[in-house]
Amino acid sequence: MVDAIVNGLSGLAAGSLHLHWTNPVMIAIGCGLLYLGIKKGFEPLLLVPIGFGCILVNIPLADVMGEGGFLRTIYDAGVITELFPLLIFIGIGAMTDFSPLLQNPATFLLGAAGQFGIFLTLGLALLLGFSQLDAVAVGIIGACDGPTAIYVSSQYAPHLLGAVSVAAYSYMSLVPVFQPPIMKFLTTQKEKNIIMTNKGIKPVSKTARILFPLVMTICGGLIAPMGLPLIGTIMLGNLMRESGVVSRLTKASENEIANVVTLFLGLSVGATMAGDAFLNPKTLLILALGFVAICLDTVCGVLFGKLMCLLSGGKVNPLIGAAGISAFPMAARVVQREGQKYNKKNYLLMHAMGANAGGQIGSVMAAAVMLSVLKGMGII
């Protein structure tokens, strides 16, 4: 009888007795992510489930990520299979209006330049001792796009998924903080004041807007087949939106599907943040390199903007280059605010939106190109 009672009580004490030092630290980190999401408004849709998943997985003996654990079930269903990021991408395509990009196709190139941080950071990660595939996962933080980063890292460096995702989502929220100084530093006073008008910008026909996702999918897929799941899903979403004939599916993709998947994805990513995997110097390095990647994206975007300014005879304001990253539409809003700060008569928003939409496309294509190049080289 006494034994039974003691055993019963030990069942209640076991959790606390099995605490490893990494558990409370990670629980604190999970709470930190919750604080960033709830109190500071940093990408709450992802950081709240990620933070909570992190707390759950670091409570000992609950084994939520063990064989048969509920987080393991969700993780296996959607992260290992790549399904979750791809389903979110359908929603993103359904929510995005690419007409500013189509009205000014030159902004495609700004969207490309805004991805150079991915490749430069990959090189930096290699120099710092990361393995080739780990460096790929670290570099993809520079895509500044959650689903893309999750898609790449869960396939090729799943042990880094937690760090990569936390970096990607946290830094996206910080875009309004670190972009303005870079923009200020890299442009001359004259360049900052270049006014870009919207006169002469013609609307895009419905036919062109419907053909765009088809062209992107077929051409992009032919050039970079390893990235077709990414390209295809975002373009499917966009095609549904532009066709206007499947509004039930479009609405479901933007709302119900995206919301459910976001919840499951966030929980799954948080569940990879077990203390022994996350708490090592490499994680800090990944967080630092992720920051560097997005800064380099901004630098390359603005520098390319300066090149376009030169080639256009001073018509392009280089500030819009900063919107060539995939943080949509935040980066475009940053450019509009900064442009108006330097010259109240300057309304860069439409041009910046074009560059930002270009960045969305650019990040998908950059990831697709990178994966296809790696496949060609036999690395994956």
Partner 1 sequence: MSVTVEAPMPGKILEIKVKAGDTVKEDDELAVLEAMKMENLIYAPAGGTVKEIKVEAGQNVVTGQVLLTIE
Partner 2 sequence: MDNLTFGITVLVVGMGGTIITLWVMSLIMRLLTRIFPHKEGEDGN
Tokens of 76: 């296996």
The window from 56-64, 141-149, 231-239, 336-344 that contacts partner 1 (CB under 8 A) reads: 336-344
Among 109, 117, 88, residue whose Cα is nearest residue 234: 88
Q: Tokens 């972009």 identify what position?
A: 179
336 touches partner 1 by CB under 8 A: yes
A 10 A CB-CB count for 19 gives 14
198 touches partner 1 by CB under 8 A: yes
How far is 52 from 268, CA to CA, in rounded Å? 10
DSSP states of 320-354: GGGGGSS-TTHHHHHHHHHHHHH-TT---HHHHHH
48 touches partner 1 by CB under 8 A: no
353 touches partner 1 by CB under 8 A: yes
* Phi then psi dihedrals of residue 224, to 5 deg: -130, 70
> Residue 165 to residues 145, 174, 221: CA-CA distances in angstroms?
9, 14, 25
Whether residue 99 contacts residue 204, with contact meaning beta carbons closer than 8 Å, is answered with yes
How far is 265 from 149, CA to CA, in rounded Å? 12
Q: Which residues in 216-231 are b (16+ Cβ under 10 Å) and which e?
A: bbeebbeebebbbbbb
219 touches partner 2 by CB under 8 A: yes
Pick from 244, 247, 260, 288 the residue near partner 2 by CB under 8 A.
Answer: 244
Q: In residues, how long is the chain?
A: 380
The window from 28-36, 306-314, 328-336, 369-377 that contacts partner 1 (CB under 8 A) reads: 328-336
Contacting partner 1 within 76-115 (CB under 8 A): 100
Q: Count residues binding partner 2 (CB under 8 A).
A: 51
355 touches partner 1 by CB under 8 A: no
How far is 281 from 116, CA to CA, in rounded Å? 26
339 touches partner 1 by CB under 8 A: no
Pick from 66, 123, 181, 314 the residue near partner 2 by CB under 8 A.
Answer: 123
In the complex with partner 1, the residue whose CB is nearer, 70 or 347, is 347
Among 94, 99, 92, 97, residue whose Cα is nearest residue 251: 94
Which does residue 116 bind out of partner 2, partner 1, none, counting CB within 5 to 8 angstroms by kind? partner 2
In the complex with partner 1, the residue whose CB is nearer, 103 or 217, is 103
Interacting residues with partner 1 (CB under 8 A) = 100, 197-199, 201, 329, 332-333, 336, 340, 344-345, 347, 349-350, 353
Interacting residues with partner 2 (CB under 8 A) = 99, 102-103, 105-106, 108-109, 111-113, 115-116, 118-120, 122-123, 126-127, 132, 135-136, 202-208, 211-212, 215-216, 219-220, 223-224, 244, 358, 361-362, 365-366, 369-370, 372-374, 377-379
